[in-house]
Amino acid sequence: MATSVFINEFHYDNTSTDIGEFIEIAGPAGTDLTGWRIVRYNGTNGLVYTTPAANETLSGLIPDQGNGFGTVVINYPSNGLQNGAPDGFALVNNLNQVVQFLSYEGSFTAVDGPAAGLVSTDIGVSQPDTEAVGASLQLTGTGTTYEDFAWARTATNTSGAANAGQIFSGVSGPVEPLINEFVFDHTGTDTNEFAEIFGTAGTDYSRYTLLQIEGDSSSTLGRITTAQTLGSTDANGYWTTGFLNNIYQNGTQTLLLVEGFTGSVNQVIDTNGDGVVDVTPWASVVDGVAVTDGGAGDRTYSPVVLAPSYDGNSQRVGGASRIPNGTDTDTAADWVRNDFDLAGIPGFAGTPVEGEALNTPGAANAVVEAPPPPVNLTAIYDIQGAGHSSALAGQQVATTGIVTAIDSNGFYLQDAVGDDNIATADAIFVFTGGAPTVAVGDGLQVAGTVSEFTPGGASTRNLSTTQIGGSLTITTLSTGNVLPAAVLLGQGGRVPPTENIDDDAFGSFDPVTDGIDFFESLEGMRVTAQDLRVVNGTNGFGEIFGVVDNGVGATGLSTRGTLNLSPDDFNPERVQIQLDSGVFNFALPEVNVGDNLGDVTGVVNYDFGNFQIVATEDFTGNVQSAGLQREVSTLTKGSDQLTVASYNVLNLDPNDGDGDTDVANGQFAAIAQQIVSNLNAPDIIALQEVQDNSGSTNDGVTAANVTLQTLVDAIAAAGGPTYAFIDNTFITNNASGGEPGANIRTAYLYDPSRVDLVEGSVATIGSQGSGEAFAGARLPLIATFNFNGEAVTLVNNHFSSKGGSAPIFGTAQPFEARQEDPTVNGSVDQRQAQSQVVQDYVNGLLGSDPTASVVVLGDLNEFEFVSPVAGLESAGLTNLTNTLPENERYSYIFQGSSQAIDHILVSDSLVATAEYDAVHVNTELAESLQASDHDPVLARFTIEAPNVITGTAQSDVLVGTDKNDTILASGGPDIVTTGGGRDQIVYTSTNQTGATLTDFEVGADKLVFTNLLASIGYTGSDPLADGLVQIRSLGNSDRTQLSLELNRVGGGRTQFTDFITFQGVDAAALNNTENFVF
């Protein structure tokens, strides 16, 4: 079948950013395109795409741009047409029928939308990404239909006009006008007679005259009874006489359309009554049609004669229409008699009979269609069924319901009554592919194809939603209906499950106990979330999460109002409220955790891995604030108390020209103020997500010294100390993940007035090389600090993110039981490998010194109960997160669930005095109020300053305490008993010989020889290896002798001096640098 209205030209790709994209439609002039539209398709998944938005619905008439044809154009914003391989679009008419389904760079099968199930036609030419701006793909050749032309690539587009190399050889109406329809006689008094002329749209036909010639056998036979001069055709190509009253005769008559008429009414053209025209007062006869009632002696003057039996009907013809419109073969077969009772004329019911023509003056001719067969209706709840997909998918159905909400590409239809079965949803989404023409409250009958639509495609592991689409037939049965009552979510209605999302991998459908089944059973329906309490403040996606009944009955609520997840409870009761401006547009309120929204009404939808209530009513007037305040930690530093924090500072950088404005928007100032006022200016701060000096500008810069100094300055300006910083100089460019060019990393701030950085201690572990644990991730940053004489080693981490995780309400179930599965918990395997690197490092430290003070901290991107974090405890660490009550363990909120992904773990030497606080200053607030999407975490450790015990110049008995002591050796042969704790015995002179240590504890106590070795000029790093220190057992006793070679450094002869005798110490165990400070 020839395609008369068709896609004629388009542009979809050019060098750099795609601009000037368009689709041009061509067709006969005067064609009404109202209700026609273009539907864009992504060829990768076969799905309709609608972003960026464009007005793809056509209206009005095709203009005449030459030879009776013209074009109309749809323009798109930048990147409006996808340029993958393949992509395409469908031209859909006002009956939702696909006229064309074209693609470029290959073909594909449509999955949804009006072309669902159809295979696209590849046009065979394409545009490369090097194409110049202004080029296009267009049809060339000569003809009148799509099939007459061929596609070609051209450097210059002709948008809005006939293409270069394209000639339209035909016209939409006849070259000369035609008598297209007439009515001489009809039921009752002939008050609605008319004649219709069809020609080229907008054309002056005043040189033509329509003549009525008497044909009945009488004295007026062959006489011109009426002569009507034509005017101009309208935009559709029609000219009519208007309704006439008894102007046309009811017997045998002939209509002649003539050009150049010079005669007059009552002039006889058949002078002898033989049926042959004798007088021709015109230049030419353009068209003619005659009607005869079969009377004896009647005459007609046109080769086309419609007798009573010309179509098998014995009744005389009262009126007739050319079918199809404008058909002209100069035979009676061109004509179909009109309904005699004026079906089609306003005010007349008519008695239309199948096959007759409707009366359509000034409009396209049409025949009476056979009435459609009775429709077998399937209730919406039977289409939905008790499950996550419809058993009727792929089948044609018809159903009825009330429109409850309208979206930009479809509408929600709900059964007016429902079936009182909580397992079956009473509503469904009807996908129209473009803006629907229905209204809320309309009662409709909808026929179409049932399908399962998966947002984003099956690879996302999203659930599917049941919808009706394809070639739709929508019939309005009523308007202004009261909407079906909203299902109440909460006490007195249906209460969401509080523990299980799905516990049987979809083995059974349990809407009472399984959250994923509960919301599926409400798909598309109107619901009201009762007394909704906020558990996740307003975010940038127009989302608010809450729990019904003001939280009564919810499990995992924290004291501040968040909903915390736990190993066997991932919070199925959370309810997502979604602002969708295409459905109902209002100003979504900025709310925080604990606020109450009152009752929220909307329709249940599923998108981005979550069921959501798309609000259909404005609830902002019901919002009650809980007055949430940022938390101020009670953990403060003291003379014997070291405070250590971890803070993910959310891609912090000082370059406001890189697309974000961390300086101008106050992020530096806000974080600084939190550090000073809410964290009490910790002694050491481990930072994550510090970007380089140029931010996300991909310029090869890797250093972050400006970023860190800007934060240091902001802290000082906020009244805090002047911190020193440690940048992570071990990373390489674009190797750490995050934004390209930003080089996020771990780093430290520390207060040099409180702690000392141990020289040479800054290091990293692992590698960012391909296949290594930290490939595409952040390298840990290690540093050791001295506080009150205690060395504390920190390992600052930012493990790989959970990006790529399956949605919690998705197809991978049971979700909570599969947290060790990387296909469910994204990159858990990479975090396991990163954790193992840290474990190995910590094991090495504690293996050498079991009493070492070690802190492993940072954004570990994992819950405390999953192996990358839980595994660190096997290295001899204690996770301070677990010291908090279970419902208070959170530093982050994701999709309504509070959770701990930032942690501080410590070795045994620090556990006893450790105190811990997750300081909630960000995550509970609306996103616009946050300085970061993480809360900082803070730990405090009591590390008392060592007791100093000083000997005299005499022989002393020096006795330490059970605390950490510093014992300063004297000049005589002292007897030293260190006591408990981790003690240091300090020697500064070669004269301090002959001492006895009675209880030296290998691995805990240390001998400090720094000044002693300096006094003899030693500049090496390991006097044990260099042979200056000699350790040997004394006979069969439990004593060990340490001797020093005091003369070698000065070049003297080799001579060892006995320096210290140890009681109860193994010589081999003592002979280790871990027991010394050189």
976-988 confidence digits (pLDDT tens): 999 988 899 999 9
CB 226 within 8 A of CB 211: yes
Average pLDDT over residues 829-840: 98
Q: What are phi and psi of 658, to 5 degrees?
A: -100, 10
**Residue whose structure tokens are 């947002």:** 455
Question: What phi and psi values does residue 473 have, to the nearest 5 degrees?
Answer: -120, 115
- What is the distance between the alpha carbons of residues 676 and 684, in angstroms, rounded to a whole number? 12
Q: How far, in Å, CA of 695 to CA of 704, rounded?
A: 9
Sequence length of the chain is 1078
Q: What gap in Å lies between CA 1010 and CA 987, rounded to an integer?
A: 8
CA 96, CA 99: separation in Å to the nearest integer?
9
Alpha carbons within 13 angstroms on the beta-carbon side of residue 36 total 25
Q: What is the pLDDT of residue 168?
A: 86
At which residue do the structure tokens 């003619």 appear? 288
CA angle centred on 566, ends 564 and 568, rounded to 5°: 135
Over residues 75-116, the pLDDT tens digits come to: 999 889 998 789 999 999 987 889 999 999 999 999 999 999
User: In the structure, what pLDDT confidence band is assigned to residue 169 with cuts at 50, 70 and 90?
Assistant: confident
Which one, of 1060, 1056, 1038, 1072, lies nearest residue 976 by Cα? 1060
- Among 234, 242, 240, which residue's Cα sits nearest to residue 61? 234
Q: Which fold has domain 380-478?
A: OB fold (Dihydrolipoamide Acetyltransferase, E2P) (2.40.50)
Cα–Cα dist 927/622, whole Å:
21
Query: In the Cβ-directed half-sphere of 448, how many Cα atoms lie within 13 Å?
Result: 33
Chain centroid, CA 112 distance in Å: 18
The vertex-709 CA angle with 892 and 728, nearest 5°, equals 65
Residues 230, 205 contacting (CB under 8 angstroms)? yes
Share the mean pLDDT of the chain. 94
Question: In this structure, which amino acid lies at residue 444?
Answer: L
What is the structure's pLDDT at 325?
84
pLDDT in tens, 418-446: 999 999 999 999 999 999 999 999 999 99
Which residues in 12-143 belong to E strands, given as ranges?
Answer: 22-28, 37-42, 47-48, 69-75, 87-92, 98-104, 121-122, 136-143
DSSP 8-state symbol, 1072: S
CA atoms of 854 and 875, how far apart (whole Å) = 11
Considering just the CA atoms, what is the radius of gyration of the chain in Å? 44
pLDDT in tens, 770-820: 999 999 999 999 999 999 989 999 999 999 999 999 999 999 999 999 999
Q: Has residue 173 got a pLDDT over 60?
A: no
**Distance of alpha carbon 362 from alpha carbon 30, whole angstroms:** 12
Query: Residue 93: what residue type?
Result: N
pLDDT at 515 over 90: yes
- Give dist(CA 884, CA 864) in Å, integer: 12
CA distances from residue 384 to 518, 520, 521, 575, 708 in whole angstroms, order as listed: 14, 10, 9, 22, 57
What class is the 487-622 domain? mainly beta
Residue 584 pLDDT > 90: yes
pLDDT of residue 175: 59
Buried b or exposed e, range 391-430, using 16+ CB within 10 angstroms: ebeeeebebbbbbbbbbebbbbbbbeebeeeebbbbbbbb
Residue listed under structure tokens 């009476």: 368
Tell me which residue of 199, 144, 206 sits closest to 176, measured CA to CA. 199
Look up residue 358 and give its two tokens. 């409707």
Task: Among 175-189, 663-677, 919-933, 1039-1053, name the one with the lowest average pLDDT.
Answer: 1039-1053
Q: What is the pLDDT of residue 1051?
A: 55
Percent residues over pLDDT 90 in the chain: 85
* The pLDDT of residue 732 is above 90: yes
pTM above 0.85, yes or no: no
Q: What is the pLDDT of residues 191-248, one digit of tens each?
A: 999 999 999 888 899 999 999 999 999 989 999 999 999 999 998 899 999 999 999 9
Kindly provide the residue ranges of all beta strands, DSSP E only, lying in 442-581, ordered along the sequence: 443-453, 465-478, 487-489, 526-536, 543-547, 575-578
CB 338 within 8 A of CB 289: no
Give the start-end residues of each E strand in 421-506: 427-431, 443-453, 465-478, 487-489
pLDDT of 610 higher than 70: yes
Element of type H or E holding 937: strand 937-942
The 10s digit of each residue's pLDDT in 301-336 is: 999 999 999 999 989 999 999 998 888 889 999 999
Collect all residues with Cβ–Cβ distance below 8 Å to 865 and sequence separation of at least 6.
566, 567, 819
How many angstroms separate the CA atoms of 782 and 797, rounded?
9
pLDDT in tens, 460-498: 999 999 999 999 999 999 999 999 999 999 999 999 999
In angstroms, the CA 1032 to CA 166 distance is 104
Q: Are 120 and 88 in contact (CB under 8 A)?
A: yes
Which of 334, 337, 333, 332 has its CA nearest to residue 368?
Answer: 337
Contact of 755 with 762, CB cutoff 8 Å? no
843: CB partners within 8 A, 6+ apart: 875, 876
Contact 177, 205 (CB under 8 A): yes
pLDDT number for residue 850: 92
| Residue 614 neighbours by CB under 8 Å, 6+ apart | 405, 578, 580, 583, 584, 602, 603, 604, 605
Classify 677 as helix, strand or coil: helix
> What are the strands, taking DSSP E only, across 987-1074?
995-997, 1006-1008, 1029-1033, 1039-1045, 1056-1063
Are the beta carbons of 757 and 726 closer than 8 angstroms? yes
Instruction: Quote the percentage of the chain above a pLDDT of 70.
Output: 99
Q: What is the pLDDT of residue 1052?
A: 54
Residue 362 CA to residue 347 CA, distance in Å, equals: 17
Collapsing DSSP to helix, strand or coil, 117 comes out as: coil
pLDDT-derived band at 174 (thresholds 50, 70, 90) equals very low
- CA–CA dist 967, 983 (Å, integer): 8
Q: Return the structure tokens found at 419.
A: 């079936």
Give yes or no for a contact between 914 and 884, defined as CB atoms under 8 angstroms apart.
no
* Per-residue pLDDT tens over the stretch 664-712: 999 999 999 999 999 999 999 999 999 999 999 999 999 999 999 999 9
pLDDT of residue 202: 86
Is pLDDT above 80 for 931? yes
The burial class, CB within 10 Å (0-12 / 13-18 / 19+), for 263 is middle
Under the banding of pLDDT at 50, 70 and 90, the label for residue 176 is confident
Q: What is the CATH number of domain 641-942?
A: 3.60.10.10
Which pLDDT belongs to residue 897?
Answer: 98
Is residue 64 very low, low, confident or very high in pLDDT (cuts 50, 70, 90)?
confident
Q: Are 939 and 855 in contact (CB under 8 A)?
A: yes
Residue of 740, 858, 744, 843 lying closest to 799 (CA atoms): 858
Triad 194, 199, 205: Cα angle to 5°: 80
CATH of domain 947-1077: 2.150.10.10
CB-based contacts of 1014, cutoff 8 Å, min separation 6: none
